[in-house]
Structure 1
Amino acid sequence: MKFSLAPRSAQSLAGAPIQNRIQGLSAAPYLRATLLGALVVLGSAGTALAQDAPTVKAKQPNAQSLWVTIDNPAQQRMQLRVVSLSTNNCLVNEVNSQPSYGTQLNFRNLPAGKYAVLLRVGQERYRYNVQVESQTQTIISVPGLTVPNASEAVASVVR
């Protein structure tokens, strides 16, 4: 059955026999169902695309380390680097394209100073700034992340 989506003028409906007007009204539920089905398909396609996007999480489980986990369902190229900002030396450089990846970065034996944890997943880039304090016991602060039981060390994420 074919349906025309062109609207009819009020005059053409008024002059049409009553049976034609009833047929036009009975087609409305089919049209509504078709449009609703199209919206559902488009909505689920967007959800499927969103599921392929990488998910990056960082947390500071204690005062010396940083946990980084990456869900990479599209298996895009991922690179994780840790760079000393005072010497510009790269301390860690890992590249892979696994669907799921996690690592614990321990800053315990590093000298005091500023470090950057740089992460790239496909075209997405993430940066975590880490400050290693000079104390007998190493304490790092990552702006935006909170540390359990350490009120002086706080963290943040720059994306």
Structure 2
Amino acid sequence: MKRSFSLRPAQQLTGATTSTSALRALLLGGLAVLGTAGAALAQDAPSVKAKQADGQALWLTVENPKQDRMRLDVVCLTHDTCLMTETNRKPSYGSQLNFRDVPAGKYAVMLRVGREHYRYNVEVRKGQETTISVPELTPAQTPEVVASATR
């Protein structure tokens, strides 16, 4: 959340002490600390990007500067089975999930980094060639999309 503060011009008061200028300095110092703390927190937050590179694969990249526990699960929703589970604490992680050799059906790619949760729904269709569709990565968006997080 962004907040902006504007200080009123100093009023000329008879008998004003240095406490007004000390208070002003304290307020400005507090605002400066809050601004840098917000930037530091933003740098420590995980960054998750997903990209559908071709008709059969989903690419995930995770920047995890705090090295929180990360867990990746690929679940077949059609058959209620877990195809893959992976956990690590790497500061940077990338994976290409290829759906070429899995049966047609609906799948969920679920990623948890610390307290953040991400989910991508994948539908695998079979024909002459396997194709996937990921509704969260629609063509109207840019090729590389940052996932939405929920807590």
The answer to whether TM tops 0.5 is yes
For 1:135, which of 110, 127, 148 is the aligned residue? 127
- Please list every run of 5 or more consecutive structure 2 residues that lacks an aligned counterpart in the other structure: 1-12, 140-144
**Percent of aligned positions that are identical:** 58
**What is the one-letter code of the residue matched to 1:122?**
G
TM-score, normalization by structure 1: 0.74
RMSD across aligned C-alpha pairs, in angstroms?
2.3
Deviates most, 26-35 or 70-79: 26-35
Retained in 1: the 8 A contact 2:111–2:118? Answer: yes
- Structure 1 position 114 matched with structure 2 position 87: no
> Which residue number corresponds to residue 41 of structure 2?
49
Alignment of 1:8-157 (within 5 A): 21=15, 24=16, 28-146=20-138
Other structure's SS at 1:35 match: helix
Q: Residue type matched to 2:111 in 1?
A: L
Please give the per-residue CA displacement for 1:121-153, whole angstroms capped at 9, x wherever unaligned.
Answer: 112111110000121111100002146xxxxxx
3-state SS of 2:137 partner: strand
Larger Rg: 1
Residue type of the alignment partner of 2:63: D
Counterpart in the other structure of 1:152: none
Give the drift of 1:91: 1.2
Question: Once the 2 structures are TM-superposed, how far is the Cα of residue 50 of structure 1 from its aligned partner?
Answer: 2.3
Aligned length: 132
Higher helix share: 1
5+ residue gaps in structure 1?
1-12, 148-154
Q: Which structure ranks higher in relative contact order (CA pairs < 8 Å, sequence separation ≥ 6)?
A: 2
2:18 and 2:78 map into 1 onto residues whose CA distance is 75
